[in-house]
A and B are shown apart, each in its own frame.
Chain A
Amino acid sequence: MFKKVLIANRGEIALRVIRACREMGIPNAAVYSNADRQSLHVLLADEAYFVGPPPSRESYLNVENLMKAIKKSGADAVHPGYGFLSENADFARLLKENGITFVGPSPESIELMGDKVQARKTMMDAGVPTVPGSKGAVTDLEELTRVVNEIGYPVIIKAAAGGGGKGMRIVKRPEDLELSYNAAKSEAMNYFSNDVVYVERFIQNPKHIEIQVFGDNHGNAVHLFERECSIQRRHQKLIEESPSIAVPEEVRRRMGEVAVTATKAIGYSGAGTFEFIFDNETKEFFFMEMNTRLQVEHPVTEMVTGYDLVKEQLNVAAGKKLSFKQEDITQNGHAIEVRVCAEDPETYLPSPGKIERCRHPQGPFIRVDSYAYPQYEVPIYYDPMVAKLIAWGKTRQDAIDRLQRALAEFTLSGIKTNIVLLRSILEQEKFIDGTYTTQFLEKDFKNRRDLFHFVDDRAFLIAAAIEAHNDLKNRSVEKMTDKSRWKDFGRIGALR
């Protein structure tokens, strides 16, 4: 096993990897930017190395500084987490050249799947169903218009180097095509330094279903069933669950088989995810992309299969064979994850700032992967997600009830969070009956029940009134003793 693992990431995922290392007895090293000196991953790691100023580009994406930290720490393996450099083939290659193990697939696999246009071609060759669209990149507006006229509106324009909703635009009307094309290109340029885009048909009632796969360096590959991640806002996932009640047993089996075949076809090693767009009417599924890393939502798979995916990543990266075979893997019960973000629940705008109070939920079958703590300042530079809350239940309804209960126990004060939004979604009919699609928040949530109905309004008002009363009383006392003009102003009767 490794002598030391350096975690080239931050936030909850850095904690997740630290915990796996601890349980395996592997010394671990964190890295941090100026904005993260007080982040929990730095506080909990065995060692911590400074890698630069707050902007990601200058720290967590700064390969030069990371290499220095790796050398200094003496780490012989690097876990990239998700985001940042986790799908950067050059970084993986550089590590390899320096004799350091990248905990993830080969640079070639990353490269192949990282280029969405290449990935699509490769998958078509491997017999994986794909959505109708441009055969490759579209080079100009003229070509785009021609392709779109062939496949029909609505269409979706995507960045070839993209992911996480960046550089992605849905176009519903011809008059929006040019604006959206330019917007997608400029966003792609901004985030990925690559403005190549492609286009495909936009499926009307889609679900997002993905299959977790795992390969090793000995030619073995398995799948760990599906996750449904259809609840998304601005193309970013918010709630994930496993299993999906929309997928019939026969389709589930086929999706798994297709994913394993494709995993073997590209000689993939480590944890990966095949993302499919799933037509809930026809139960057809089409390949969207493969994520060549650990996913944010991996805990739901861990909860239903019982396997620790991060430990398995480390095992496989160290050259061991997969510790489980396909027939060992079963889905037991149901798990749902919600992403708790520092953001306005109504506008989805980020709301960074200082967490005043933080109390995590506890109790049976609840898992909290969080890096929040009281008085912690959520930096403006990174992802607004501060915690993942996962509930397990024997049935789906058990898991939903448990999540509701746990969310009501969750205190994160001082900043706005989306906890009320998550609670509202969990009680919506379409969520409960499982017919929700990726457009749920945009389309079906319009007649949302009041986001703030969970607590008696009067309790809020009375508490605010008492605090306002006390504040004013205290301030008047200060001013009075200063012999200022507030003397005349003070409501002396209230002062005693």
Chain B
Amino acid sequence: MTPLRAERVHVRFGEHEVLKGVDLAVREGEWLSLLGRNGSGKTTLLRVLAGLLTPSSGRVLLDGGPLDRVPRRAVARRIALLPQSTPYVRGLTVRQFVRQGRYAARGPLGMLGEVDDPRVREALRDTGVEQWADTPLERLSGGQRQRVRLALALAQDAPVLLLDEPTTYLDIRHQYEVLNLVRDLQRERGLTVVSVLHDLAQAARYSDRVVALLDGVVHVDGAPSEVVDAVLLREVYDVAGSVLWITTNGVLKMVVVPD
């Protein structure tokens, strides 16, 4: 089952072609991470998959049907996106902010569910931000705010979760907290996760599958333990070095050692 599929997707910004015919089928329940250099088109591909960006040519299929023909509210019930950055929002409490994730689930008047929505409570609880529910957003730290943004995406209760650099702005402890949280949710709720991650070790540890983009096309596609190696380092990132795989506490981990 492929909830999301990109077929021969091209994206041009003026003269510059960022994606040059990307084919990608996202499998149900997997965590797929997009890898590549800065400017390789990872975020662009994620935005195309989310329906935020219309490809110059090619198409995206959601549950087998063209994504661009699905009403936006219906898309929101299937796909939730955590964008790379969010404008600074003032004057909203955490609960008021997260509630907006229920927009697509509400009736035409949009008033339904404003009162007390179990999905909102669940999202606040799962992301561990329940204790700040009535705190204004501006009083939270960067790390806390990132968890609130994740709560907003989770409140949509969509089976597909797209994450664009979810660990940006976070210290290492909060980075792993967020990633562990997503992994737990993926397992408990059977979510399909597509993420853009810059840290190769994190991508290798958490993803079931990695896809590396190079020159606007898919260059490598496979399980991290099979494809993340010195060749990928050299070809995709232009870095000479070794990739070491080690097992600690029964968990396979990866370390990059540059030459």
Pair from one complex: no
